[in-house]
Amino acid sequence: MPRLVMKFGGTSVADIDRIRNVARHVKREVDAGYDVAVVVSAMAGKTNELVGWCREASVIHDAREYDAVVASGEQVTSGLLAIVLQSMGLPARSWQGWQIPIKTSNAHGAARILDVDGSKMLRHFEERREIAVVAGFQGMHEPTGRISTLGRGGSDTSAVALAAAIGAERCDIYTDVDGVYTTDPRIVPRASRLDKVSYEEMLEMSSLGAKVLQVRSVEVAMVHNVPTYVRSSFDDPAAPNPGTLICGEEEIVEQQTVTGIAYSRDEAQITLRRVADKPGVAASIFMPLAEANINVDMIIQVVSYDSATTDITFTVPASEYERAKSILDSNRAAIEYEALQGATDVVKVSAIGVGMRSHAGVAARAFKALSEKGINIRAITTSEIKFSVLIDEAYTELAVRTLHSLYGLDKA
């Protein structure tokens, strides 16, 4: 029989009524002839509650015990859904990450999946025709036998990795939206749902602010070529909308130049003024930040007229702004900068589309359109299929709407 993985997020399993709704979605696919594995998140708000308890118990706590606590939210949900499915006359059992097993690194709280052994689950499909209800977000570090968690959004990664391991026909990610949109519909009401998005585009959109899928889940889908749908659990279980398919670029017949506009408010800008322009200065700035696991994104260097000093501007996550400043301050003697300036009232707006590969002047049109709206660009980065601009936060909505219209993405 063909196999299918279905994943349901926290809002989809927020209470027993919603878990019953999820069960009806699962039954539809079982009746269609699939062996189904269902990956579930913790009920909405539960993970935050468990994290809060850990911090209340001790501000500084053992990451291994933290994982043991926060992984329990998914365990509850998987058991409840299995009970509901059984009450509907469907054979089902819950699985924890260590029972499959999903083997991970030992980076507790942000572990990476190393291997998924789907053989035991496949035997249960063959021998018992049993629905597998899997606790997402968690795995096991095999050498220590300890529970590990994959970081926020990790249930998406669990689902796609499991789909790859059991040779599933596809992986359906159910959330509170009915697909991937050209941009945030709350900002642009004329945004439209995309029928298909390439893995590369979705990877860029997820990393640049779109919250639909976790970045690592898209990476896994792309590496293992797992067709992945984004769908809504709040659709009628009897006749749900098709959602958006995340797939290989070759499966998309017609490509627009720009597929979507994303934005991220989690940005902070740091500028180091009059840094000595000499070999090794960039390393003296960015190595300490890398060692502190602070991600640096946009980087701009402007050499002064005398070529003796340079100004270096870059961005870091807003949550890491103060820590980054402290690290740079402690390394001031080695870096030899004259002044440090920063801002947190900035936003990154990005345009993404594989069609950019074959079209010139895509970014230039954006720069012109933004300037006509009086929006100043602080920094720019580009790649083969996207460009990003850093602007003042006050202009976020205007910039998103401007670019969305510029590239013909407004729904007719």
Condensed to tens digits (0 to 9), the pLDDT of residues 216-233 reads: 999 999 999 999 999 999
CATH number at residue 17: 3.40.1160.10
Q: What range defines the domain where residue 299 resides?
A: 268-343
CATH number at residue 286: 3.30.70.260
Tell me what pLDDT residue 94 has: 97
Assess if residue 381 is contained within a domain: no
Assess if residue 42 is contained within a domain: yes
Nearest in space to 396 (alpha carbons), one of 209, 200, 179: 209
As a whole number, mean pLDDT of residues 339-367 equals 92
Tell me what pLDDT residue 74 has: 97
Q: Are residues 43 and 163 in the same domain?
A: yes
Confidence band for 9, pLDDT divided at 50, 70 and 90: very high
Is 261 in contact with 181 (CB distance < 8 Å)?
no
Q: Are residues 34 and 171 in the same domain?
A: yes
Q: Are residues 146 and 278 in the same domain?
A: no
Tell me what pLDDT residue 305 has: 65
Confidence band for 96, pLDDT divided at 50, 70 and 90: very high
- Structural domain count, the chain: 2
Q: What is the pTM of this model?
A: 0.87
Peptide bond into 101 cis (omega under 30): yes
- Residues 6 or more apart whose CB falls under 8 angstroms from that of 83 comprise none
Condensed to tens digits (0 to 9), the pLDDT of residues 77-90 reads: 999 999 999 999 99
Tell me what pLDDT residue 153 has: 85
Residue finishing a domain among 343, 366, 385? 343
Condensed to tens digits (0 to 9), the pLDDT of residues 275-294 reads: 888 888 889 999 999 999 89
Assess if residue 24 is contained within a domain: yes
User: What Cα–Cα distance (Å) separates residue 405 from each residue in 365, 369, 392?
Assistant: 12, 10, 20
As a whole number, mean pLDDT of residues 244-270 equals 89
Residue finishing a domain among 144, 176, 208? 176
Q: Virtual CA dihedral for 234, 238, 242, 244, nearest 10 degrees?
A: 30
